[in-house]
Structure 1
Amino acid sequence: MKNNISLSLIICLMALTLSTNGQRYFMKIENPNLNGTSNTAPHEFEFELESFDFGITNNGNLHFGSGAGNGKPELLPFTIKLKQTSNMAQVYKTIHDGGFYRKVIISVVKTFDSPSLQDYLVFTLEEVVTFSAMNIGASSGDDSIFLTATIFSDKLRIKHYLTNSNGSRDNTPLETGWDIIENKSL
């Protein structure tokens, strides 16, 4: 039960803090490697995301009146939105072929008290499947075409770096994770 509460707590903290302005989102895809177009240190050659959505639920059994046990958490898929790049065809090919990526890392970064970007939240997904990819077309006033993709993994690890009272980053993150296949905390 403690691990489920830890995972839920970090997700709640994440939901509260993602509303802060000045954050940027990056995604790194490994094995097969796909390069994005970012030139922002330290996330060069990663994909810069416009946005992403993610959630977790745990229905437990308190509402049945038989105790307050936790059920199995349900990790909802990540939905990511990014501008089209030249290698988006590889994403489509992965869907066509039923393939997967060994690792996808989604980083939320901000400046804290320094001029350089630092990781704030880091989601590491392992054995990642792309369920869908859809173009969100350009309008007459904008030539950008966006891709929205839904991805899911069998393992998820989360690191959440808190902010110290002086505005600096606390370099000891809160960490949690879940292995869906094994139904256990990581």
Structure 2
Amino acid sequence: MNSPTYSTTAGAELQHDLVRAGFYPQMVQDVLAEAMMSQPVLDHYVHLETHFDHNEVHRHITVMVLSEKVLYIIHVDDQQLDDHGKDVMAQVSTEMIALHRIASVATNYVYHQPQHYRTGDEVRELTFGMSWNGTRRIDLEPASCADPQCDADHGLSGTAQPEDLVIRVSAEADGQRAVNKAREFAVRLRHETI
């Protein structure tokens, strides 16, 4: 798909990073172009994650793209439908969040050997999160009573916390370039949502 979305320098950099990630890049580009409806790319972050489950390897990708008024988030998971990995299915979800709806952009920096810190030292790990009240995590447990002899059902108690998006990036796992890019994207997003 030849889309105006990718016609800028920032759009070309996004295409390059999608191809570099190597996780269904053309599919992700096409879905993103459809979601963005020709809006120009101002900035982006591509996060490819791999995890192991017993004897299987699972990968998924999260792509965040900043335009003038909207943050687009594309998430892709794939799944093998047979034992040999020849029949594969990809599930793609898209979300568009108006920048004025983003309530919080949080970053957690990890510096190694902080006793030797100098201005300009690179962050080695970054946890980047944001909330727009799109989803909430609910943790419930049986409500308890102070009376140890009580066997009545007291219902449930718990908490509901916003948990829209959290990404962790480390230099050891993802490379220093990925950490730096995530930090730059978080700073730009914070600036755009003030």
TM-score normalised by L of structure 1: 0.26
TM-score normalised by L of structure 2: 0.26
Structure with greater proportional helix content: 2
Bigger relative contact order, structure 1 or 2, given CA contacts below 8 A and separation 6+?
Answer: 1
Structure showing greater Rg:
2
